[in-house]
Amino acid sequence: MQKLAHGIHRFRSDYFAKNKKLFEKLATDGQRPETLFITCSDSRIVPNLITSSGPGDLFIVRNVGNIIPSVERGVIGGVAAAIEYAVEILNVQAIVVCGHTGCGAIDAILHPERAEHLKFVSRWLREASRIPEILAERYADLDPEQRLTAAVEENVLFQLENLRTYDFIARRLDAGQLALSGWVYQIATGRIFDYDPDSEEFLLLGTKGDRSPLSSRPPPR
């Protein structure tokens, strides 16, 4: 807690002091984020840091495994409520689902016995229980590390499919009023890979002239 208290002091004396007008504007005008950013609760993922965005730019939803419950099958709760608010009230123009390498949630999805003593975690991760089936069907020849990367990618794509089960999202997609993106953040390199539906691969994002894929394996779809 002492570390956090010192951090708050630095925030007030440094960042806040330099951006006081911005915070006054946010307090007066409210929030108008353009993007809903859905990612994992993992402490190594800092959305505003990796996107160089500031206060008010992102409406962020975080949970274990960046999971989005399907309307037809899932546990509709806080995640669904946040998505609905972002789309229907805040009128975000884009939704990003961002997974990451070395995800413990994905590892637990592939090896459910490792989390069976955590009843709430196990129940939540069942929302992505199709991932092991997809891995068995398409990526049986990969080594464990490659399988984990493939699972992270497939989970992002699976959650994008779940987003489309929400009628208010489907309507806006059909009208061209909303864009969906699937990202994978590579922690060790700081690189982000964006799913490209044309090539059906996760390609490097944010680097001019370089769109190399996340891995050299066949595309996930």
Q: pTM of the entire structure?
A: 0.91
**pLDDT score at 208:** 62
**pLDDT score at 88:** 97
Q: Domain tally for the chain?
A: 2
Residue with tokens 């699937």: 182
Q: pLDDT digit string (tens) for 7-27?
A: 999 989 999 999 999 999 999
Tell me whether residue 65 is in a domain: yes
**pLDDT score at 165:** 95
Indicate if 22 and 103 belong to the same structural domain: no
**pLDDT score at 30:** 94
Tell me whether residue 215 is in a domain: no
In SS3 terms, 190-210 reads as CEEEEEECCCCEEEEECCCCC
> Which among 71, 128, 82, 76 has a CA at the least distance from the CA of 105?
128
Indicate if 18 and 49 belong to the same structural domain: no
Indicate if 45 and 25 belong to the same structural domain: no
pLDDT along the chain (221 residues), means of 10: 93 93 95 97 97 97 96 81 97 98 96 94 93 92 91 97 96 97 97 95 81 60 48
Indicate if 106 and 17 belong to the same structural domain: no
Q: 8: domain range?
A: 1-30
Indicate if 78 and 153 belong to the same structural domain: yes
Indicate if 61 and 145 belong to the same structural domain: yes
